[in-house]
Amino acid sequence: MAIPVVEIEGNAYRVILSDKKHLVEKDKSCSCGMKICAGVAAVEDYLRAGGNRAPESLPPCPVCGGKTVRDRKWDGKHTKTLGWRCETGGLSHFLQAKAEHIKRNVNENPWLIPPVPGYAGILRGELLTFQQCNEASQRVFSETGYNPAA
């Protein structure tokens, strides 16, 4: 009998036996449908021998509740969050969920620079846009008679 080959495939284990390929899930169910399967035993032996564990499955899509699949290109470099795509909505559901998370964080924390003893801090709402700054400068120039272009 040939030695089974066990590899990680997504969140499961691909087992190649002499008869065929098996996909063994973490709940010990196999794609062959049999209750007692040589593929499940091969995965158990693989893990006992120190083999790598398959990653945990991703939670369902927060937008539609559909199944999600891993997408390493969208992993958060600074937040260390896993990137994913929804099987129904694709990347747009990931980006929509990410935008909602950012909005929620901004609403929960209104400070751009939080206050510390001796410093009042700066709220995000206190910032001016370029257009607002330009209008304020023009108003000051017209009131004082100062023309910076002259």
Each residue's pLDDT, cut to its tens digit, for the chain (150 residues) gives 568 889 988 788 999 987 689 899 888 888 888 888 888 999 999 999 999 998 888 889 999 999 888 888 998 888 888 889 999 999 999 999 999 999 999 889 999 999 999 999 999 888 999 999 999 988 988 898 887 777
What phi and psi values does residue 105 have, to the nearest 5 degrees?
A: -65, -40
Q: How many helices (H) and strands (E) does the chain have?
A: 3, 7
Q: How far apart are CA 115 and CA 150, in angstroms?
A: 40
Task: Tell which residue, 96, 70, 66, 100, has the closest CA to residue 85.
Answer: 70
What phi and psi values does residue 22 have, to the nearest 5 degrees?
A: -125, 145
Q: Which residues pair with 122 in a beta bridge?
A: 113
